[in-house]
Amino acid sequence: MADLLIVGSFAFDTINTQTARRENVLGGTGSHASYGASFFTKVYASGIVGGEDWRNEDSEMLKAHNIDIENLQIVPGQKTTAWEAVYEADMNNRSTLSFEPNCCVAFHPNLTADARKCPYIFLANNSPESQMEVIEECEEPKLIVADTMDYYINGSRPALETLLRKVDGLILNDSEAQLLAGKQDLFECGDIIRKMGPRFVIIKKGAHGCIFLGEDDQVCVFPAYPSRKVIEPTGAGDCFAGSFMGYLASKDCADFQTIKEALIYATVTASFTIEDFSFDALKRSTREDIDKRFAFMREMLNF
């Protein structure tokens, strides 16, 4: 089992659905990815929060779940990043109502010695310049995987292209893949993105599962877990990515068979996220619950 470093955002979210509203719940790419990964291995989480409003209860929740937060910077006198959104009835579309970056604009990783030695690194959605800083700080990583979004594809393309030449894998959703590659067919998008540098690409399709494209014509397509209870999907994609990396780190292996297992584990772990707001459903879940859904998926897929 190997350790995993995850660097991303930590935020307070206000989420509106058609039936409910939750204010100032823990969110962010780094928090969701770290929690998902921590079902499988020890996680070193790095990011930045504001000392003016960061809650000790959130720190304790993360630490209680095998997440080292020594690399979580707490900035006195500043507020944590805040985001508010509203979901449409089908949960597939949402609109951002407000975004306050607050302390995150000043983030530069300053990793501890143990964090720099992590062999597995997940760069959760953040600026490519910040993601490159992490790579430069780390010592001898075995596997580096990044996430990105349309904001950086449009606004930081040169820096993103530099980053892609330094990572082993890229995780992004279908519309982001189409934007980055300039094509519509997702398999063609994956092939184009791989030529930019990553050895493999994972394209998330939300309720329609995911696509993996790797070296030597490695391809697999998995559906989403057939959830009957969808309350709110914020963080599911980040939980998926973190769980994927957590499983690979737990096996200290990234061959094609292990990657396929990791994709199924990522799918079922993320399925818990959508069953309640923020971390509420994940906090009620255990590794045994995840293993049960993994077994169900393997049988369903005849894998």
Long-range contacts made by residues 295-298, C-beta under 8 angstroms, separation at least 24? 296/268, 297/222, 297/225, 297/264, 297/267, 297/268, 298/264
Q: What pLDDT is stored for residue 106 in this prediction?
A: 86
- Residue 297 banded pLDDT, cuts 50, 70, 90: very high
pLDDT average, residue stretch 165-187:
97
- pTM of the model as a whole: 0.96
Structural domain total, the chain: 1
pLDDT average, residue stretch 242-253:
98
Helix (H) or strand (E) holding 120: strand 120-123
pLDDT tens for each residue of 9-24: 999 999 999 999 999 9
The DSSP 8-state label assigned to residue 109 in this structure reads -
Whether residue 187 has pLDDT greater than 90? yes
Q: What pLDDT is stored for residue 105 in this prediction?
A: 87
Summary mean pLDDT of the chain: 96
- Residue 100 banded pLDDT, cuts 50, 70, 90: very high
pLDDT tens for each residue of 41-61: 999 999 999 999 999 999 999
Transcribe 202-222 into DSSP letters: EEE-GGG-EEEE-GGG-EEEE
Whether residue 124 has pLDDT greater than 90? yes
Closest CA to 124 of 213, 54, 197, 35: 35
| Spatial separation of the C-alpha atoms in residues 177 and 190, rounded to whole Å | 7
Q: What pLDDT is stored for residue 92 in this prediction?
A: 79
Q: What pLDDT is stored for residue 93 in this prediction?
A: 83
132 neighbors 159 (Cβ within 8 angstroms): yes
pLDDT average, residue stretch 207-224:
95
Distance of CA 269 to the CA centre of its chain: 12
Q: What pLDDT is stored for residue 50 in this prediction?
A: 97
**3-class SS of residue 81:** strand
Q: What pLDDT is stored for residue 167 in this prediction?
A: 98
Q: What pLDDT is stored for residue 90 in this prediction?
A: 83
Whether residue 1 has pLDDT greater than 90? no
Domain of 232, in residue numbers: 4-301
> The CATH number of the domain where 96 resides is what?
3.40.1190.20
Q: What pLDDT is stored for residue 303 in this prediction?
A: 84
Whether residue 273 has pLDDT greater than 90? yes
pLDDT average, residue stretch 253-276:
97
| Spatial separation of the C-alpha atoms in residues 40 and 266, rounded to whole Å | 11
- Residue 91 banded pLDDT, cuts 50, 70, 90: confident
pLDDT tens for each residue of 192-210: 999 999 999 999 998 899 9
44 neighbors 4 (Cβ within 8 angstroms): yes
Whether residue 89 has pLDDT greater than 90? no
Whether residue 94 has pLDDT greater than 90? no
Closest CA to 112 of 131, 92, 95, 134: 134
Share of the chain above pLDDT 90, in %: 93
